[in-house]
Amino acid sequence: MRVAVVTLFPELFAPFLATSFVARAIAGGQLAVTLEDLRPHGLGKHLSVDDTPYGGGAGMVMRVDCLVAAIEAAEATLGARAHRVLLTPGGERICQRHLEELATRDPVLFVAGRYEGFDERVAQFVDRELSLGDFVLTGGEVAAMALIEGTARLLPGVLGNADSPREESFSPGHGGLLEYPQYTRPAEFRGHCVPEILKSGDHAKVAAWRHERALERTRERRPDLLPGKDES
């Protein structure tokens, strides 16, 4: 999977791309990430990529011409038209199904914004708009990292155990529910014990217990995920 990121701060990605599963995916050839620095596409002496908003108001707005130039430069490096994703609080809220879909696309391009936001015309040059959640960050770099990590771990061969994603929270193989509680040694800690059924060796009973706990946890914490509920 090839990924490009348009960003004003490519240096933020260096430690992220060299760590954990993302680094493993890059080393194994399942993932390739290129960073397109937005600044060289700026205008004037100071390479400005933003300007004051028409109609007045606080903050600065990122220019459509600079962003599109950076997008096209990133795609020239990729050698192909990418699936373009604008990272913005006004986008569709990201969930696991977005990661699973993105993991099947190649290449993918994430546009990380800054300042007050994007010139609205940028939306005409991307394929979709996504949001990390119902809150505002100073830039889209953290959202881009979250999407890269979330998709990278779904690529074949990246995780040590191919079954790991199947029973995780939100996964289709788990019915979209939250994951059941997990335990490991010690069997008792300060009066808190591992449920006896998990030590029974009866795999059918363990599976049934886990399913019930997953339903219970989802009902208590995220009832919107239960079957029959509208997808958020």
pLDDT, residue 231, reads 45
By C-alpha distance, which of 110, 126, 128, 36 is closest to 76? 36
- What average pLDDT does range 123-136 have in this prediction? 96
Q: Which residue has the higher pLDDT, 160 or 40?
A: 40
Prediction pTM value:
0.89
pLDDT at 162 over 70: no
Q: For the chain, which domains are there? A: 2-152 (3.40.1280.10), 166-225 (1.10.1270.20)
170-191 tens-digit pLDDT: 887 778 899 999 999 999 999 9
- Beta-carbon neighbour count of residue 30 at 10 Å? 16
69-101 tens-digit pLDDT: 999 999 999 999 999 999 999 999 999 999 999
pLDDT at 163 over 70: no
> Cβ(7)–Cβ(36) under 8 Å?
yes
